[in-house]
Amino acid sequence: MRSLLLGLLLGLCSLVSALSAVGNKLLVIQEDESEKDNYSQFFKDLEARGFQISHRTPKDSSLSLFLHGVPAYSHLLLFPPKSKGLGPELTANVLVDFINQGSNVLLALSSDKSIPSAVSSLLLELDISLSPDRGSLVVDHFNYDTKSASDKHEVLLLPSPDSSRQDVKSYFGVQGLIAFPHSVGQVLGNASPFLASVLKAPATSYIYNPKDDSGDALEDPFATGTQINLVSAFQARNSARFTVFGSAEALQDTWFTASVQLPNGKSEKTSNQEFAKKVTGWTFKEQGVLKAGAIRHWLDEGAQKSTTDLTVLDVNPSIYRIKNDVHYSVELSEWQADHWAPFTPPAADNVQLEVSMLSPFHRLNLVPKQHTANATLYTSDFKLPDQHGIFNFYVEYRRPFLTNVEEKVTVTVRHFAHDEWPRSFAISGAWPWIGGIWVTIAGWVAFVALWLWCKPVEEKKVAGKR
């Protein structure tokens, strides 16, 4: 009993200390037990961040990603196997199921080892293509490590990735150079908005296959320059993350501490350890996780005009009238390693509110109005459209590297009631008609009086007139 309680307490403690927003169970698939030691610093870093790591080999008969139909692990880390396959428990289908149920996958590749068909078919489903030639690697004759690859140039040295888009938050910036030995280049499909590039190859790099290269010049490279991705990220509709890391070797202890030198550069230490932390941190949801808090909207008219005192306001009514002025606010928080913090979008980006019935009538940029301890309050004031019906106040915030926020509030927008229109006397065009009514009334009353009480005119006067 005591041990049970102790276990529960420990479990709670580890939950609290975990830095991931979703869970701390991490499964590492590595074929060779001995290889584990090459990555000891990498695993130590993960454990220090609260992950409970289970090491398994793909051949393990008890291996299963699911327990009672739900994912048994929150995160999966796949290292390239020596053999050609990954076994029956790690087929492309199973991995897709695993992602569909919200778990995150980090896939490390290496040009030294073959890429299992399960992996390449999974990548094809995500619209990531690899060179069809086994063993192809990325080479760059301009940015290589002169210390370890002075002849073959297959250890790329890359500066910190910076976001190519102004409106995308960068989660992967590091100081110094990142070494990428024997890396597998990926080419991302253009159609999918789920894919994002984390680290691109330099402009002068290209993919070639060292095996069938017999000293000939390269005639038809699979991909060249910045179209090659060394690390690419996929975030599904359910915000599950899948990261392809082009070089498993870059995670090894030797490259965490190696000192490298660019041609014409000076020797410096790699920042692989920092970069590995950023990539795993993003993939395992320590970064870039968004949450919407309280949503409030109210009528911003009459007695409720420009008050923010929630005790007197009629908050979140289910019905409005067309052309009503409405105030809307939503709280957004971002998970930052161990706590929820106020979310601020990048400078060129906006959180937007759509007032929509089938299609948006309004799409408004929300204004960050107030920061609380762990949320930013985004607000907007707007006039409801002059169309009655069932409307949604819809905040859909989907951005690369951020989990999706979709918050929908449905309200009825009714038409003007008969007594809410302007009175006829307020309409100048109606004045002749109103005047006509009053003249008729007065004439009618006068006519009744005349009919009731008229005295006949004296004959002589009439005769005189005739």
Binding to another protein in span 185-214, by CB under 8 A: 190-193, 203-204, 206, 208, 213
Q: CA geometry: angle at 172 spanning 178 and 186, to 5°?
A: 70
Residue 224 in contact with another protein, rule: CB under 8 A = yes
Q: How many residues bind another protein (CB under 8 A)?
A: 75
Largest interatomic CA distance in the chain: 140
- Please compute Rg for the chain using Cα positions: 35
6 vs 390, which CB is nearer to another protein? 390
Give the per-residue contact string, 159-178, with another protein (x = CB under 8 A; - = no): -----xx-x-----------
In angstroms, rounded to a whole number, what is the distance separating the alpha carbons of residues 184 and 119?
13
Applying CB under 8 A, does 385 fall inside the site for another protein?
yes
Closest approach of Cβ 205 to another protein, in Å?
9
Q: In this complex, which beta carbon is closest to another protein, that of residue 206 or of residue 340?
A: 206
Check binding of 152 to another protein (CB under 8 A): yes
Q: Which is nearer to another protein, 278 or 399 (CB)?
A: 399
Using rule CB under 8 A, residue 367 touches another protein: no
Return the residue of 33, 220, 314, 459 that touches another protein, per CB under 8 A.
220
Site for another protein in 254-273 (CB under 8 A): 263
For residue 231, list its beta bridge partners.
Answer: 199, 245
Q: Residue from 55, 321, 398, 414 that binds another protein (CB under 8 A)?
A: 398
Report the alpha-carbon distance of residue 97 to residue 66 in Å, rounded. 10
Site for another protein in 335-364 (CB under 8 A): 349-350, 352, 354-355, 360-364
Closest CA to 231 of 271, 285, 269, 275: 275
Q: Which of 457, 459, 463, 466 binds another protein (CB under 8 A)?
A: 457
Residue closer to another protein by CB (options 273, 287) is: 287
With contacts defined by CB under 8 A, name the span among 26-34, 81-89, 176-184, 436-444 that binds another protein. 436-444
The CB-of-462 to another protein minimum distance in angstroms stands at 8
Is 390 near another protein (CB under 8 A)?
Answer: no
Q: Near another protein by CB under 8 A, which window of 84-92, 313-321, 406-414, 437-445?
A: 437-445
Q: Which of 79, 128, 49 is nearest to 251 (CA)?
A: 79
414 binds another protein, rule: CB under 8 A: no
CA–CA dist 230, 272 (Å, integer): 13
The three-class DSSP label of residue 284 is coil
Binding segment toward another protein, per CB under 8 A, in 60-68, 80-88, 147-155, 238-246:
147-155
Closest CA to 82 of 51, 53, 107, 113: 113
Between 165 and 369, whose beta carbon lies closer to another protein?
165
CA separation, residue 205 to residues 19, 90, 97, 198, 224 (Å): 36, 32, 35, 17, 6
- Site membership for another protein, residue 399 (CB under 8 A): yes
CA–CA dist 197, 120 (Å, integer): 18
Q: Contact 223/185 with Cβ under 8 angstroms?
A: yes
401 contacts 282 by C-beta, under 8 angstroms: yes
Q: Is the dihedral of CA 199, 205, 206, 208 positive or negative?
A: negative
Give yes or no for residue 451 binding another protein (CB under 8 A).
Answer: yes
